[in-house]
């Protein structure tokens, strides 16, 4: 209990530290509420929250309800990332002539694909170092990225797919309304793909082979798709930012409060969907549970969207920027990809004793190791980019 309270207080302090409030009057708003520095810091808060979410997912932490508030919050933190990405892409497209020149190379290959494969190499070394064994074909799939040697590495894959579809749909600059519609349909299609795909190869019966296990291949988990709708709502917010801002400035509080209430209601619908249907129903009753997954997914979409919109509307009046959020904002992908290595590597701490002291030591060790590994990873990525540039 003490560990949870301390972490909650520290996380709240991270949001308050460097915070600025514009004032209560409807004439007092921040014009720079969506500046690069502010949104980077928002991503930094989300990045740190994801680290805590992964720690809270530990079985021992779940049994003792340690860091309970972070256990299911990952979907919200990742939604912030996708919302900011969709928002940023639209704003850049609107403000930068020739934005799509070299888009695939700069925004997909350099920022997502190359880091993904550098992380694959690091995890291969890590698993060999701790004695993890893979079958020959499993090694091939892991090293090529067909399967995930790092189960957290789904994010750059999904982001690359969304970025590529964005480029294909918006590059010509014609029929933008149709492009938005097609983008929304594509994101929904990804969700439906998971609903049929499920967490494993359910149609093969007994799951005894490595390739039939959970989290092995692309779109074999709801986390691949349930945050993607936030990417689309971020695009919409970017497209109509001026209209949205102008509308909220007239009677801000009378519009913000209903928005927050609606978000809380959506959270309740999401919880009800998880209870009534659930993403994992194939493990509780016969069949692949496709309908259960689809209904749960549809219940969760409004929650992720409204949460992000609420955060951005609050930022009209309040935002925080501090050295810690800036650091994690600039290291978000690096710490995210290295976090699983820290989670696994530090788990030896919990093998000794199951006391709160050891859970606290584990939490601190995971955060510290994630930061150090993230810095190493960033250095290796920069070296790879520099070498590529020289050639």
For each successive 10 residues of the chain (391 residues), what is the average pLDDT? 93 93 84 86 95 94 92 95 95 89 92 95 95 91 93 95 95 85 96 89 69 83 94 95 91 94 97 93 80 95 96 92 94 95 92 84 96 95 71 45
> For position 390, what pLDDT does the model report?
45
CA-to-CA dists, residue 262 to 58, 229, 248, 268, 310, angstroms: 31, 17, 16, 10, 10
Residues in the chain: 391
> For position 303, what pLDDT does the model report?
96
CA distance 317 to 252: 9
Question: Quick one: tokens of 191?
Answer: 């969700």
**What is the Cβ-side half-sphere exposure of residue 11, based on CA atoms within 13 angstroms?**
19
Contact 314, 255 (CB under 8 A): no
CB atoms under 10 Å from CB of 368, counted, come to 12
> For position 299, what pLDDT does the model report?
96
**Helices in 17-64 by DSSP H: which ranges?**
36-56, 59-63
CA-to-CA dists, residue 304 to 9, 67, 83, angstroms: 24, 21, 9
> For position 336, what pLDDT does the model report?
96
Cβ-Cβ contacts under 8 Å for 305 (sequence gap 6 or more):
79, 229, 230, 233
| 329-343 CB burial, b ≥16 within 10 A, e <16 | bbbbbbbbbbbbbbb
| 318 DSSP β-pair partners | 21
Contact 318, 20 (CB under 8 A): yes
């Amino acid at each position: 209990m003490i560990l949870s309270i301390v972490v909650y207080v520290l996380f709240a302090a991270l949001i308050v530290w460097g915070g600025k409030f514009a004032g209560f009057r409807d004439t007092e708003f921040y014009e720079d509420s969506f500046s690069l520095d502010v949104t980077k810091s928002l991503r930094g808060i989300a990045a740190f929250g994801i680290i805590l979410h992964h720690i809270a997912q530990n079985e021992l932490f779940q049994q003792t309800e340690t860091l309970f508030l972070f256990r299911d919050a990952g979907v919200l933190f990742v939604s912030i990332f996708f919302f900011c990405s969709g928002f940023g892409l639209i704003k850049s497209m609107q403000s930068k002539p020739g934005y799509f020149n070299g888009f695939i190379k700069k925004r997909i290959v350099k920022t997502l694909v190359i880091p993904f494969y550098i992380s694959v190499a690091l995890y291969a070394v890590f698993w060999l170092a701790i004695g993890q064994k893979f079958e020959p074909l499993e090694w091939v799939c892991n090293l090529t990225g067909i399967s995930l040697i790092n189960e957290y590495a789904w994010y750059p894959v999904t982001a690359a797919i969304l970025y590529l579809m964005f480029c294909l749909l918006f590059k010509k600059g014609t029929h933008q309304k149709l492009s938005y519609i097609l983008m929304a349909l594509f994101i929904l299609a990804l969700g439906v793909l998971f609903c049929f795909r499920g967490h494993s190869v359910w149609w093969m019966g007994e799951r005894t082979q490595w390739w039939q296990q959970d989290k092995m291949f692309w779109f074999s988990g709801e986390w691949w798709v349930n945050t993607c709708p936030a990417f689309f709502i971020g695009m919409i917010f970017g497209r109509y930012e001026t209209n949205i801002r102008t509308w909220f400035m007239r009677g801000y509080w009378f519009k913000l409060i209903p928005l927050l209430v609606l978000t809380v209601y959506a959270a309740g619908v999401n919880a009800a969907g998880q209870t009534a249907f659930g993403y994992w129903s194939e493990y509780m009753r016969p069949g692949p549970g496709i309908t259960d997954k689809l209904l749960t997914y549809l219940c969760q979409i409004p929650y992720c969207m409204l949460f992000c919109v609420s955060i951005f509307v609050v930022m009209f009046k309040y935002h925080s920027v501090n050295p810690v959020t800036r650091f994690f904002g600039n290291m978000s992908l690096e710490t995210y990809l290295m976090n699983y290595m820290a989670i696994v590597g530090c788990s030896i701490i919990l093998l000794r004793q199951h006391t709160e002291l050891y859970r606290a030591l584990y939490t601190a060790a995971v955060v510290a190791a994630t930061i150090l590994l993230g810095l190493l990873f960033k250095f290796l990525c920069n070296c790879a980019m520099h070498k590529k540039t020289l050639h």
